[in-house]
């Protein structure tokens, strides 16, 4: 439950950061392409966060499940203990499955600069030798201090 609460909190914070980024990009002089690229990178980060959290949750649950199974096996063979273990195992399975479902954070497609349709697909990684977009007016340098 704690791991799921932490994951939910991390997702909420990431979604809030994504919305803040979207608002900042909308209010700045970034082009649509730069905005989409930044949001794509944010989505990629969140996916990696979810994968790491899921792996951590799975690793933490394995020893616990082994210990519970051993304890219940040695302490009692009653149907009540078996049903409790089964309930715990199903809860863990549901939590693990739910945590591993990727989320599409770009729920609403961002339209192109003319507002006529979805923005073109942008690859997540830059081609070797390609430079990332520059911030600032006209895309040519650092932001003013």
30 belongs to a structural domain: yes
List average pLDDT for each run of 10 residues in the chain, which is 145 residues long: 79 84 72 78 86 83 76 60 71 64 47 49 47 52 49
pTM for the full predicted model: 0.33
Give Cα separations from 26 to 19, 31, 34, 38, 108 (angstroms).
Answer: 10, 9, 11, 12, 15
Domain-located, residue 141: no
In a domain, 52, yes or no: yes
Which residues does 98 contact at the CB level (< 8 Å), separation at least 6? 4
* Maximum CA extent, the chain: 73
- What confidence score (pLDDT) does residue 126 get? 45
Bridge partners of 7, per DSSP, are none
pLDDT at 50: 86
Question: Does 9 fall in a domain?
Answer: yes
Q: First vs last Cα of the chain: how many Å apart?
A: 45
In a domain, 19, yes or no: yes
What's the total number of domains in the chain? 1
Is 143 inside a domain boundary?
no
Domain that holds residue 36: 2-104
């Amino acid at each position: 439950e704690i791991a799921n609460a932490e994951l939910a909190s991390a997702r909420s914070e990431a979604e809030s950061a994504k919305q803040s980024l979207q608002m900042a990009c909308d209010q700045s002089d970034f082009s649509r392409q730069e905005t989409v690229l930044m949001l794509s990178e944010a989505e990629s980060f969140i996916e990696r966060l979810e994968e790491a959290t899921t792996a951590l949750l799975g690793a933490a649950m394995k020893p616990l499940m082994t210990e519970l199974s051993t304890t219940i096996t040695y302490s009692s063979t009653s149907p009540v203990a078996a049903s409790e273990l089964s309930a715990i195992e199903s809860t863990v399975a549901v939590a693990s499955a739910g945590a591993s479902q990727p989320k599409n954070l770009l729920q609403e497609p961002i339209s192109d600069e003319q507002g006529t349709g979805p923005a073109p697909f942008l690859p997540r990684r830059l081609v070797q030798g390609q430079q990332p977009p520059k911030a600032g007016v006209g895309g040519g340098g650092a932001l003013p201090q």
